[in-house]
Structure 1
Amino acid sequence: MVDLPNAELDAMIEAEKKQVAFEYHNEAWADGMSDGIGTDILAETAISTALVELVRLHGEDKAISVVDELRRRLEHGEFRVERSLH
């Protein structure tokens, strides 16, 4: 058995949960596309749903913080399809 520090184990668990969530979202996205829902509508409703939940669970300040962080990442090109990881 591998003995990992709690923080490292927590990070691994969070990464796994993010991967599973990503797969769920991809499946829902594909289902929506196959039903004829456009990408703009899917994207806007996904973002809106996420923000409603963040506000409900953590308040508007947390939601604004998340939006600010996403904006920073967007401006730095993190979401570009052609971006390179090297």
Structure 2
Amino acid sequence: MAQGMNEIDALVREEKRLTAVDCHNEAWAEGLSAGIEPDIIAEAALTTAFGELCRSSGENAALALLDRMRSMVEAGEFEPSKLKH
């Protein structure tokens, strides 16, 4: 029974992640349409994300995410051919 619940939880989490990606993609496109440079959009998104994560989960959670993201960048996981949406 616990296995089934874990699978359901994973499916729900993935659905939420995909919805969040869609929302962020729309916001990104709107920013570009408004003439905002990608680096400015990215900095604003990261500032908002890390601020909210610090507020909701604490500084350690934000730093852990930052470490994971850095490792992903260094591993080339954000190359266009590797992005999953």
Under a length normalisation based on structure 2, what TM-score does the superposition of the two structures give?
Answer: 0.90
CA distance in 1, matches of 2:66, 2:82: 21
Per the TM alignment, residue 34 of structure 1 is displaced from its structure 2 partner at its CA by 0.5
Larger radius of gyration: 1
The alignment yields a C-alpha RMSD, in angstroms, of: 1.7
Aligned pairs (5 A) from 1:1-86: 5-83=4-82
Secondary structure of the 1:68 match is helix
Larger relative contact order (CA 8 Å, sep ≥ 6): 2
**If each structure's helix is expressed as a fraction of its own residues, which one has the higher value?**
2
Could you give the per-residue CA deviations for residues 51-85 of structure 1, whole angstroms, max 9, x where no partner exists?
00000001111100000011111111100114499
Amino acid at match of 2:20: A
Query: Unaligned 5+ residue runs, structure 1?
Result: none
Calculate percent identity across the aligned residue pairs.
43
Q: Which runs of 4+ in 1 moved over 4 A?
A: none
